[in-house]
Chain A
Amino acid sequence: MSGKTLYDKLWDAHVVRQEEDGTALIYIDRQLLHEVTSPQAFEGLRLAHRKPWRVDANLATPDHNVPTTDLSGGVDSIVDPISRIQVQTLGMNTKEFGITEFGMGDPRQGIVHVVGPEEGATLPGMTVVCGDSHTATHGALGALAHGIGTSEVEHVMATQCLIQKKMKNMLIKVDGELQPGVGPKDVVLAVIGVIGTAGGNGCAIEFGGQVFRDMSIEGRMTVCNMAIEAGARVGLVAVDEKTIDYVKGRPFAPKEDQWEAAVAAWQDLKSDDDAVFDKVIEIDGSKIEPQVSWGTSPEMVLDVNGKVPNPANESDPVKAGGIERALKYMGLEADMPVSEIPVDYVFIGSCTNSRIEDLRAAAEVLKGKKVASTVEQALAVPGSGLVKMQAEKEGLDKIFIEAGFEWRNPGCSMCLAMNADKLPSGKHCASTSNRNFEGRQGAGGRTHLVSPQMAAAAAVAGHFVDVRDYL
Chain B
Amino acid sequence: MDKFIKMTAIVAPMDRANVDTDAIIPKQFLKSIKRSGFGPNLFDEWRYEDVGEPGQDCSNRPLRKDFVLNQPRYQGAKILLARENFGCGSSREHAPWALKDYGFDVVIAPSFADIFFNNSFKNGILPIVLDDKTVDDLFKEVFAEEGYQLTVDLEAQKLVKPNGDSIDFEVDSFRRHCLLNGLDDIGLTLQHEDEIKAYEANRKKNAPWLFGA
| Contact (Cβ within 8 A) A29 B210 | yes
Say yes or no: A265-B184 contact (C-beta < 8 A), given A16-B192, A39-B33: no
| Contact (Cβ within 8 A) A155 B33 | no
Stretch at the interface among A157-165, A188-196, A218-226, A432-440: A157-165
Nearest Cβ on chain B to A38's Cβ, whole angstroms: 9
Task: Write out the residue numbers on chain B whose beta carbons fall within 8 Å of the beta carbon of A54.
Answer: 200
Query: In this assembly, does A367 line the interface, its C-beta being within 8 Å of a C-beta of chain B?
Result: no
Query: In this assembly, does B168 line the interface, its C-beta being within 8 Å of a C-beta of chain A?
Result: no
| Contact (Cβ within 8 A) A48 B34 | no
For window 185-207 of A, CB contacts with B under 8 Å fall at none
Interface residues on A, range: 35 or more
A125 to B203, CA, bound (A): 12
Query: In this assembly, does A229 line the interface, its C-beta being within 8 Å of a C-beta of chain B?
Result: no
Query: In this assembly, does A47 line the interface, its C-beta being within 8 Å of a C-beta of chain B?
Result: yes
Say yes or no: A262-B209 contact (C-beta < 8 A), given A16-B195, A17-B195, A39-B33: yes
Select from chain B the residue with minimum beta-carbon distance to A253: B209
For window 22-54 of A, CB contacts with B under 8 Å fall at 25, 27, 29-30, 39-40, 43-44, 47-48, 50, 53-54
Query: In this assembly, does B27 line the interface, its C-beta being within 8 Å of a C-beta of chain A?
Result: no
| Contact (Cβ within 8 A) B190 A258 | no
B184 CB contact (under 8 Å) in A30, A40, A48, A123? A48
Task: Write out the residue numbers on chain B whose beta carbons fall within 8 Å of the beta carbon of A154.
Answer: 186
| Contact (Cβ within 8 A) B186 A48 | yes
| Contact (Cβ within 8 A) A155 B185 | yes
Select from chain A the residue with minimum beta-carbon distance to B193: A159
Query: In this assembly, does A449 line the interface, its C-beta being within 8 Å of a C-beta of chain B?
Result: no
Say yes or no: A56-B209 contact (C-beta < 8 A), given A16-B196, A43-B34: no
Stretch at the interface among A81-89, A278-286, A420-428: A81-89
For window 132-164 of A, CB contacts with B under 8 Å fall at 151, 154-155, 158-161, 163
| Contact (Cβ within 8 A) A159 B189 | yes
For window 78-118 of A, CB contacts with B under 8 Å fall at 82, 85-86, 89
Nearest Cβ on chain A to B121's Cβ, whole angstroms: 13
| Contact (Cβ within 8 A) A27 B199 | yes
Task: Write out the residue numbers on chain A whose beta carbons fall within 8 Å of the beta carbon of B210.
Answer: 29-30, 123, 126
| Contact (Cβ within 8 A) A25 B196 | yes
Nearest Cβ on chain B to A264's Cβ, whole angstroms: 11
Query: In this assembly, does A325 line the interface, its C-beta being within 8 Å of a C-beta of chain B?
Result: no
Task: Write out the residue numbers on chain B whose beta carbons fall within 8 Å of the beta carbon of A160.
Answer: 196, 200
| Contact (Cβ within 8 A) B35 A44 | yes
| Contact (Cβ within 8 A) B33 A159 | no
Task: Write out the residue numbers on chain A whose beta carbons fall within 8 Å of the beta carbon of B189.
Answer: 25, 155, 158-159, 161, 163
A39 to B196, CA, bound (A): 25
Task: Write out the residue numbers on chain B whose beta carbons fall within 8 Å of the beta carbon of A39.
Answer: 33-34
Task: Write out the residue numbers on chain B whose beta carbons fall within 8 Å of the beta carbon of A30.
Answer: 210
| Contact (Cβ within 8 A) A40 B186 | no
Query: In this assembly, does B31 line the interface, its C-beta being within 8 Å of a C-beta of chain A?
Result: yes
Nearest Cβ on chain A to B93's Cβ, whole angstroms: 7
Query: In this assembly, does A254 line the interface, its C-beta being within 8 Å of a C-beta of chain B?
Result: yes
Nearest Cβ on chain A to B101's Cβ, whole angstroms: 10
Nearest Cβ on chain B to A216's Cβ, whole angstroms: 24
| Contact (Cβ within 8 A) B199 A258 | no
A126 to B199, CA, bound (A): 14
Number of residue pairs spanning A and B whose beta carbons lie under 8 angstroms apart? 78
| Contact (Cβ within 8 A) B196 A159 | yes
| Contact (Cβ within 8 A) A254 B209 | yes
| Contact (Cβ within 8 A) A159 B190 | yes
- In the complex, per-residue mask of A388-431: 1 if CB is within 8 Å of any chain B CB, else 0: 00000000000000000000000000000000000000000000
A50 CB contact (under 8 Å) in B35, B186, B207, B213? B186
B206 CB contact (under 8 Å) in A159, A253, A265? A265
| Contact (Cβ within 8 A) B186 A159 | yes
Select from chain A the residue with minimum beta-carbon distance to B189: A159
Task: Write out the residue numbers on chain B whose beta carbons fall within 8 Å of the beta carbon of A125.
Answer: 207
Nearest Cβ on chain B to A244's Cβ, whole angstroms: 13
- In the complex, per-residue mask of B178-213: 1 if CB is within 8 Å of any chain A CB, else 0: 000000111001101001100110010011111111
Nearest Cβ on chain B to A94's Cβ, whole angstroms: 14
Select from chain A the residue with minimum beta-carbon distance to B119: A151
Query: In this assembly, does A11 line the interface, its C-beta being within 8 Å of a C-beta of chain B?
Result: no
| Contact (Cβ within 8 A) B36 A43 | yes
Select from chain A the residue with minimum beta-carbon distance to B35: A40
A258 to B195, CA, bound (A): 26
B196 CB contact (under 8 Å) in A27, A43, A123, A255? A27
Query: In this assembly, does A246 line the interface, its C-beta being within 8 Å of a C-beta of chain B?
Result: no
A50 to B189, CA, bound (A): 13
| Contact (Cβ within 8 A) A48 B207 | no
Query: In this assembly, does B171 line the interface, its C-beta being within 8 Å of a C-beta of chain A?
Result: no
Query: In this assembly, does A252 line the interface, its C-beta being within 8 Å of a C-beta of chain B?
Result: yes
Query: In this assembly, does B1 line the interface, its C-beta being within 8 Å of a C-beta of chain A?
Result: yes
Nearest Cβ on chain A to B92's Cβ, whole angstroms: 12
Select from chain B the residue with minimum beta-carbon distance to A160: B196
- In the complex, per-residue mask of B4-33: 1 if CB is within 8 Å of any chain A CB, else 0: 000000000000000000000000000101
- In the complex, per-residue mask of A240-251: 1 if CB is within 8 Å of any chain B CB, else 0: 000000000000
A163 to B192, CA, bound (A): 12
Task: Write out the residue numbers on chain A whose beta carbons fall within 8 Å of the beta carbon of B31.
Answer: 82
A48 CB contact (under 8 Å) in B1, B33, B200, B211? B1
A43 to B37, CA, bound (A): 11
Task: Write out the residue numbers on chain B whose beta carbons fall within 8 Å of the beta carbon of A261.
Answer: 208-209
Please provide the 4 A-B residue pairs with the shortest distance between their CB atoms, ordered closest to farther: A254-B209, A39-B33, A258-B209, A159-B189
7 other contacts beyond A123-B209, A163-B185, A265-B206, with CB at 8 A cut-off?
Answer: A25-B189, A27-B200, A43-B36, A48-B1, A56-B212, A82-B31, A265-B207
Binding site for B on A (CB under 8 A): 16-17, 25, 27, 29-30, 39-40, 43-44, 47-48, 50, 53-54, 56, 82, 85-86, 89, 123, 125-126, 151, 154-155, 158-161, 163, 252-255, 258, 261-262, 265
Binding site for A on B (CB under 8 A): 1, 31, 33-36, 93, 122, 184-186, 189-190, 192, 195-196, 199-200, 203, 206-213
* 14 A-B pairs with C-beta separation under 8 A: A25-B195, A40-B33, A43-B33, A44-B35, A47-B35, A47-B36, A56-B212, A125-B207, A151-B93, A151-B185, A158-B186, A158-B190, A254-B209, A261-B208
